[in-house]
Structure formats: structure tokens, C-alpha cells
Chain A
């Protein structure tokens, strides 16, 4: 199968790769770049564990080909910390016990980040809608909502 050269800015650093056209962005991120914080939880775009931010919008990276992201900017969970400082969302998830097994957490945080970028002071209902594309099996969402509220108050 033929390959294409791509260049994607990931967490601020230019990354290049020679990839098959069918390579999913999530596999490029996880396997070619070794950024394993982005997870895979389904194959139908329902669970949201693979959520990253592509040119400012939250996308499910299992539903984007790596070649579609060429020339664009991607942010993953690994890019949330600035100079070792936690993002308020990361802090919120820890403070409000918004995670248990941690598997959905990176995707949840990225979806929440996109939500807060669009709406810095969301209501509970808006938060619930904002994270409704991300499944969590452990927490029952109550504390995830609180974590996002914590971050919204801080940002």
C-alpha cells in the first residue's frame, strides 16, 4: 500500500511521518509518536477516549485519518501541561475525584477543554451536553461535571 509524507504540529512540535493513507490519526499519535495518553475504547466513534483537539476543535482521532490532519495542529493530553504546571482541568479532575480507572480521562479532559474554549462559563446542562460524546464507566459523571466546573471557575 502506498504511503504519503505528512507533517502535523503536535503539542507545538512539528512531527513528520511517512504513513499509509488509511492510518488513523489515533494510531499515528499513539504508535508513530509514542504519545500513549490518547486511548482507544471502541471502533464506532462512540466512546470518545481518543478525543484530541484538531485546529481548536475536539475530534475523535479514531475517525480522522492521519493524512487529514496534515498541515494542521493537534493537541493531546500530553500537551495540556505548561512548563510542568497542570491545566485547571487536570487539577479539577484530581481535586473533584473526576476519574477512577483513568482510561477515559484524557479524552474527557480534551472534550472539556474544547467546551470551555467555546463557553467559558457553562451551565451543568451545557457541561453534560459537552461531554456526552465521551463515555465513562467508572464515575457516573457527577464528579466529572464538578471537575469541569472547578476549571471553569479557575480559568
Chain B
């Protein structure tokens, strides 16, 4: 339990303050990109490729241009005039904005129609005639790596095959030796399919260019507005769009989950279109475009192995991965980490040796490799280790909980350096699992399962004890396109004691307007109702790298606390002046300074704020403001233990999650209500790919899962009543001891559910199941097919 240091009225850390953003949302008064209307605004719609790989023979816009309302058709040739037909990806690869001669994946942008209405633009799309000549399609990433496979990226000089990168971590020789010496080894191929974040709001932009001022304003669905501004300036600087003339406004965002980190061609086309036409341009993608062309997540083919002693002592871990990146590497990993933080794969266990290698591969699929509510590939890593641990338990006939207790890194071992180079800040893994077992009644469930099995009923219990890695990140190791992954807060205390806080991150539903206010309330004792939090406008917010990978609280949260402390330091000087004592004679309690031992000689923070503008001491600057750019010394490592109970209908193969207990430890908690909400949502997005969601392609590169007809997202019917619990192990290096929580559950939940399903079927000889575990797969497993 986080100790409450402030009253409910102040509403600092640990209070379940009601969200400040809710009053507008519950009235339908949010302001999302599609709600933005500008005078004279035109609409853009995109012509997309039906082929996964084809030459473009011709594009004929005549009929489209003749259609009432159509103002322009923009093609690769149009953009080429401005040298804007290519753009860099966030991984320093290259990507077509619009093609000149070739398409590389189905649903790729081919041309854009600009029209006076949404409907006329859609009509225009139907009237653009494109002639294609199909080319050989490469879909299977393993085949893509075979000698003789067609080289897809002929545009890249020196690219002789379809390999994007080869990346390794750990000691290969020592790990191989450990496997040779091992008493027990477990080997499993695990595929984590392509999925899509499918935030309920799709992506979009309203781009407006003022040709007189040379000013570009973009309202866009951006999780990282500052980084996007800089990229636009770097890409379009040569046409006069320099950074001070670009303003990105990220208004209310209808869910992000990583899908609004990349820069999509549609944004760039809309910007080109506003420059070309002189009119504001709105582009809002539809759901099919969103699922078919926007960045995917996962698509990792893992060959995972674990070596252990017969008594269950885990010794070594080895994972070889083929990562299907599609047409280009448009992932959003920090630059030095092409496979993200995958090497955190040793999880909650003190492996002596570990080695991983990842090969990124080009195929004729849409680009991506973004997160899906997780921190840079940690979900794939956790899935592998938590599945292998259960398989080891099965192999040596040990209870999976007992095996975990036997191996966990112990509380006294923190900070713990893993064999692949991470330094875990703090943890109490056994504590979380113990609590989860108590909450769910583990022993009773084992008994129940035994009885049910005798009666022929299928019931399974699955555990996942995961370690997350969030809060990127220390500038020494983390940057995106060279931009260091610090983050920022700027706080101004007004004369009347009210506050505005501006941040370099950007909420997409996480409740920043509330939680960041609570951090300031905690540090300054100013009531949270008096604190306004503003994000997303690059003209006013301090520079930051944005919100994804659970980095807002670890990085911008720290900046907010430190900026508040700078203000408190200055307030102390002012209070000493007003009370005519030395600074050292003053004591702080939330909201006021008083003279030690004389509690009625006191100045409230509000009085001090007023004095800062009306009666400040000579020699001290007037005003009460501070800025902090926080460069974290380390990442934070939230963790948890989840237990899932499933019942399986042996007739239909349907899996029902009967109970799911999630014990999370995210360090000190800012707002328990919001943390619990984040965990509920994360669990649901953890369950989704295990039971329902998948995007796949046939050999011709045709998508399956490209609309909500086939891409099945959980509704209230499939989603269980999640049960949550918590332990609190503060981060020792974070100013407020917090760790971040938004994604833990998405990372931790999948293996708990898979382990439960496999457990339910283990007496039938089932050792592993690939996700999504559909009723058909389960039915086949039950029937030995």
C-alpha cells in the first residue's frame, strides 16, 4: 500500500482521483482529429494496391478528375517533383510515400484523390485506373531467406538478399556449452502471429498550409508529436518546411497502443496535398485501411530452448528468431535495438547463460513491427520463457508454481544484472506469485482439477510470472533517429496558486491530465483540481519523445516530480524571505512551509506563489516556473504473477476463462483507480491474440483479417471479470518510486492463458499450442487430429 502523504482534497499520490478528462468525454465533447474542421477544407481518400507485388504500368486519373468535386489526384510522380516520394522510417530504413513504378504489399498507397467531400473523394478513388503487372510474391519469411529467393528491395543499393539485420545478445559459445552439459533440455517452436492494435479511432490528419506565412499546422493522431515534427522537418526541409514553421497538434487520441507512433504515407501525402492545393486537407483512414496497411505487431517465429538440471534448476536459454518485418523496417524500436528489448527473455529467473539471435526479413507484407501495448518485443520474449518454464515443469513432473519459486531471482539479489546485460531495478517475484495463489485458491483448484479429470471434464490452471522492461530510456543506449529518449515537464505556478503543466508525452486514454496533476499535487501540495495538464501541441509543450512503451510515468513522471521540486526549492527561498528566517529554519509539509517548532509561522504555497509575482525577494528572479528534461539512469522493471483458470468444452473446443487473477507490482502507484483500469484493458489485449486475433496472408499476399468481419476483437461477452491484486516494490532510482503499468498485463497475460489451456489438455498428450487458440484448434487437439 502506497502511503498517503496528502489529503483527498489535495489528491496526491495514491488517491483514486476521478479523471479530469472525463467530463468532456461523457458529454461527447472530446476533440479528436476527425472532429477538426477548417475553412475550405478538402478531403483525401487513397487508392490502394490489390496486389502484394506488382509493377505499375500506368495510372490514369482522367476519369477521376472529371468527377464532380474532385480537385486533384496525387501520384508518386506528383511527389517526385518535390522529392517527397520516399521517406525514412523510424528505423532508418526507407519507405515509399507513393510509388513510381512498383507496389510491394497489398493495400499499399498508390495514389490519393482530393475532393470537396468525403463521398466525392471515395468516388474518385473508384475512378482512378491503375494498370499492374503482377510480380513474384514472397510471403514466407523462411523462404525469403533461401538462396535464390527474389530480392525484394531492389531500390536499396547493395541489398543482395531479403535480410534486414542480424542481431545477437548473450554469449553464444558459453550458452551452447551449457546446453551440451545439460541434464534436461526443452525445445519448442513458437510463432507469435501478426496482429493489429486496432484502436477504435483509426489514424488521420488535418493538414493546413498557410502559404503566406509558410506555416504548416497538422492535427494528427500522433503518440509522439515532437518526434514527428522533427522528422517532417528533416524530410521536407528542402521544400521550405523548417521546424519552427511546423506545428503538430495531437488532440484527443482514441487509443494508441503503438499504432500511432509511426509516420504513415497518408500523413505525408496529406501534407504534400495541402501545400500543392493551398487548401486544408483531411484524411481519416477507414478501418480496412487501418488493419490492412498500418503497422502490424509481433510476427515473430521463435525457436526456443531451455536447459536445466533434473531438479529444475534453470541453467541456460537459447532463442533463434525470424522476424517478419514486411516490405520495410518501419518498426519503432530505439535505434540500437533492431529487435527491441527481446534479450530481456531470461524473465524472472537467474539464468547463468543465455543467447538470442534475431534475423529481420523483408517480405511482401505491410511494414511495421510496432508494439501492441508493450515495450519493444518484450511480449514475445515473455511468451517464450513462460511457456518453456511450464514445459520444463511438465517434463520433470514438478508443479509449475514450485518450479518458479525454486528459480526466481530473490529480493535480496536486486539490483540484478542479467546475463544479457539488463539491470533489473527491484523485484519480489515470489511475493507476487504467493499472493496470486492465495487469491485464486491454488491448492483447491488443483484438487478440483484432479476430480474433474477423473470425470472427463477439461479444466486447466496456468501461471505466468513475468518481468516487464519499460521507461525507455537512458540516453546512453536509447534514441530514435538520434533523438535521445529523455522526456520533459514544464510547470508554471500562476500568481493565484493555480498551475499549468506541459509535457513532452501524449495521453491516448491513460489519464495524464489527472495523474500528472497528482504528481504535482504530491510534490507541491497544490490541490489537483487547481492543476491543468496540457500535452500534444508542439508549439507550447516542451520537447519529448512521446507516449508508448509505458514510458510516460517512468520518464515524464520523473521530469514532473523534479520540476516540481525545483519550484519547491524556489518557494523555500521566497518563504524564508517572507517569514524573515533562514531557509534552513523552514520545514515543508504538503502545501506549506513553516518555521521549525513554530507551526503558526507559516506560508502556504499559494501565498508564496502570489509573492513570487508581487513581492519577490530582490536578487531572485520573479515568477514560479521550472522545466525538467529527465534522462533516466536506468529502465524500470515492473513485474507480476498471473493465474488463469480455464474450462474447455470437449464437444466444441470452446475455451472459457473462468477466473483470472492478476497480481501486478508497478512500484508506487499514482492513482489506484487508473492503474486498475490499465490492467483490465491490458489483460483484455493480452487475451485477444491468444484466443481471437490474427492477421495472415495467402501465398499471393492476400490478407485475411483485414476488416472487423474477420479480425475478431474481444467484446464484453468474451472478456471475463478480471480480478486484480498488487504488491508494491518501488523503483529505487525513480524520483517517485513508480515504474509504469499500462502494458504489463498485455505482456504477462498471454502465457498464463496458453499455459492453462495446455494444462487442461496435457493428459491428452498436448505440450504446446500456437496462438490464436481457436475452438477448432482445441477440438482438433482433443480429438488427436
| CB interface residues, B 385-401, toward A, < 8 Å | none
* Nearest-Cβ distance from residue B266 to partner chain A, whole angstroms: 16
B interface, CB within 8 angstroms of A: 18-19, 21-32, 34-35, 37, 118-119, 197-202, 252-255, 257, 284, 286-288, 508-511, 673-674, 676-678, 680-685, 707-709, 713, 715-717, 719, 721-722
Assess whether A137 is in contact with B681, with CB atoms less than 8 Å apart.
yes
* Nearest-Cβ distance from residue A110 to partner chain B, whole angstroms: 10
Partner of A132, one of B119, B674, B680, B715: B715
**Residues from chain B with Cβ under 8 Å of A139 in the complex:** 677, 680-681, 684
Q: Residue of A at shortest CB range from B373?
A: A137
Partner of A94, one of B22, B199, B257, B676: B22
**Residues from chain A with Cβ under 8 Å of B118 in the complex:** 27, 31
Assess whether A102 is in contact with B18, with CB atoms less than 8 Å apart.
no
**Residues from chain B with Cβ under 8 Å of A27 in the complex:** 118
Q: What 13 new A-B contacts, CB under 8 Å, besides A101-B509, A102-B252, A102-B254?
A: A38-B28, A39-B32, A39-B34, A39-B200, A77-B27, A78-B28, A80-B27, A102-B24, A129-B716, A134-B715, A135-B713, A137-B198, A143-B680
A91-104 to B contact mask, C-beta < 8 Å, 1/0? 10111010111111
Confirm or deny: A122 has a beta carbon within 8 angstroms of a beta carbon on chain B. Answer: no
Interface bin, chain A: 35 or more
Assess whether B255 is in contact with A103, with CB atoms less than 8 Å apart.
yes
Partner of B716, one of A91, A93, A99, A141: A141
**What are 12 A-B pairs at a CB distance below 8 A?**
A20-B119, A37-B27, A37-B29, A49-B200, A77-B27, A94-B23, A95-B18, A101-B200, A103-B30, A103-B200, A106-B28, A133-B715
Assess whether A141 is in contact with B684, with CB atoms less than 8 Å apart.
yes
* Nearest-Cβ distance from residue B720 to partner chain A, whole angstroms: 9
Assembly CA distance A142 to B679 (angstroms): 11
Assess whether A142 is in contact with B28, with CB atoms less than 8 Å apart.
no
Assembly CA distance A34 to B680 (angstroms): 34
* Nearest-Cβ distance from residue A131 to partner chain B, whole angstroms: 5
| CB interface residues, A 111-146, toward B, < 8 Å | 124, 127-129, 131-145
Assess whether A140 is in contact with B286, with CB atoms less than 8 Å apart.
no
Assembly CA distance A76 to B29 (angstroms): 12
**Residues from chain A with Cβ under 8 Å of B255 in the complex:** 100-101, 103, 137-138
Assembly CA distance A143 to B681 (angstroms): 10
Q: Nearest 6 CB-CB pairs, A to B?
A: A37-B28, A101-B509, A103-B254, A102-B25, A77-B28, A140-B680
Q: Residue of B at shortest CB range from A94?
A: B22
Confirm or deny: A153 has a beta carbon within 8 angstroms of a beta carbon on chain B. Answer: no
Confirm or deny: A86 has a beta carbon within 8 angstroms of a beta carbon on chain B. Answer: yes
* Nearest-Cβ distance from residue B70 to partner chain A, whole angstroms: 13
With known contacts A47-B200, A100-B681, A128–B32 Cβ distance under 8 A: no
Partner of A97, one of B253, B508, B677: B677
Confirm or deny: A63 has a beta carbon within 8 angstroms of a beta carbon on chain B. Answer: no
Assembly CA distance A80 to B29 (angstroms): 12
Confirm or deny: A23 has a beta carbon within 8 angstroms of a beta carbon on chain B. Answer: yes
**Residues from chain A with Cβ under 8 Å of B202 in the complex:** 41
**Residues from chain A with Cβ under 8 Å of B22 in the complex:** 93-94, 99, 102
Assembly CA distance A145 to B619 (angstroms): 58
Assess whether B27 is in contact with A137, with CB atoms less than 8 Å apart.
no
With known contacts A39-B32, A141-B716, A142-B680, A99–B201 Cβ distance under 8 A: no
* Nearest-Cβ distance from residue B196 to partner chain A, whole angstroms: 11
Assembly CA distance A147 to B457 (angstroms): 35
**Residues from chain A with Cβ under 8 Å of B709 in the complex:** 44, 46
**Residues from chain B with Cβ under 8 Å of A46 in the complex:** 708-709
